[in-house]
Amino acid sequence: MAVKVVVAGAMGKMGRAMMKALHNADDVHLVGAVDVNDGASVAELIGSNVNLFVEKDLEDTLRKTTADVLVDFTRADAAVENGVTAIENGVCPVIGTTGLKEKDVERLYVMCEERRLGGVIAPNFALGAILMMRFATEAARYFSDVEIIELHHAGKQDAPSGTALTTAKSISTNLHRDFSQVPETYEKAPGARGAEVNGIPIHSVRLPGLVAHQEVIFGGTGESLTIRHDSYSRESFQAGVLLAVKKVVSLDRMVIGLENLL
């Protein structure tokens, strides 16, 4: 049977891209769309022949569609409450919204565990980004100096990105050097050296025209190594979301990070 999916954040750019992918996918049925701005025709939003309209009440939509999965690309505060609503109604949450606090992730994790219900929270659904993080973690075994530059569209609200935070935490477990001992630098402008996560500097760029990009730059004696991933369109996230949607219904717990489904 096809997995029945409701999308929260349907009016946003990511929501529209995900609805289009879900509508066109095999073994998946887009059954509902939710946003704070309701009433729009989903057919007009995604340019496909689908008889759905954006609604405002998530719980009502989940119940009347008997959805299996909720895909959420909203804001951090809304994503947590949407996840709670989904879990309480026996619906598996797949959350791509970033900026969630650790206590909120833990709350959703425990709720899924108590109900033996599948769930996925991932800072990035692009398969190339997952490989970038994996390659960077491997490279950290051989280099002891690293910095991260992450670049996103001007509308992204959280910084650093969830991908950059995950990368830094993963790298820090493999470094030879304690990066909490980074030498102090005199900043002529506060913040010039970026934010420090586990001792690793992260620099966030927000500009129109960008989608999602990240460089992990390692420095060694007489050389450097740059590992970079670029998402040029939101279509790059579709394969990962579809993978999560199809696999989450067979899980009995919350999974953090798409790499744990590959």
**Domain covering 3-121+235-261 in this structure, CATH number:** 3.40.50.720
Domain boundaries in the chain? 3-121+235-261, 127-231
Mean pLDDT of 199-214: 95
* Cis peptide bond N-terminal to 123, omega within 30: no
- State the burial class of residue 184 (Cβ atoms within 10 Å of its Cβ: 0-12, 13-18, 19+): exposed
pLDDT for 180 equals 53
Task: Label residue 191 by pLDDT band (50, 70, 90).
Answer: confident
pLDDT for 177 equals 56
pLDDT for 199 equals 86
Mean pLDDT of 114-143: 95
Active site residue 23: no
pLDDT for 198 equals 87
Task: Decide if 132 contacts 171 (C-beta within 8 A).
Answer: no
pLDDT for 240 equals 95
Distance CA 25, CA 30 (A): 9
pLDDT for 188 equals 85
Torsion of CA 134, 77, 243, 159, to 10 degrees: -30
By DSSP bridging, strand 146-152 and strand 200-206 are: parallel
pLDDT for 99 equals 86
Task: Label residue 15 by pLDDT band (50, 70, 90).
Answer: very high
**Domain covering 127-231 in this structure, CATH number:** 3.30.360.10
Look over the chain and give the mean of its residue pLDDT values, rounded to a whole number.
93
pLDDT for 40 equals 92
| Entry pTM | 0.86
Active site residue 213: no
From the candidates 13, 29, 153, 156, give the one annotated as an active-site residue: 156
From the candidates 23, 152, 229, 246, give the one annotated as an active-site residue: 152
pLDDT for 112 equals 98
- State the burial class of residue 134 (Cβ atoms within 10 Å of its Cβ: 0-12, 13-18, 19+): middle
In this predicted structure, the answer to whether residue 181 has a pLDDT above a threshold of 60 is: no
pLDDT for 176 equals 59
In this predicted structure, the answer to whether residue 94 has a pLDDT above a threshold of 90 is: yes
pLDDT for 183 equals 59
Distance CA 50, CA 11 (A): 15
Task: Decide if 197 contacts 160 (C-beta within 8 A).
Answer: yes
Distance CA 30, CA 18 (A): 10
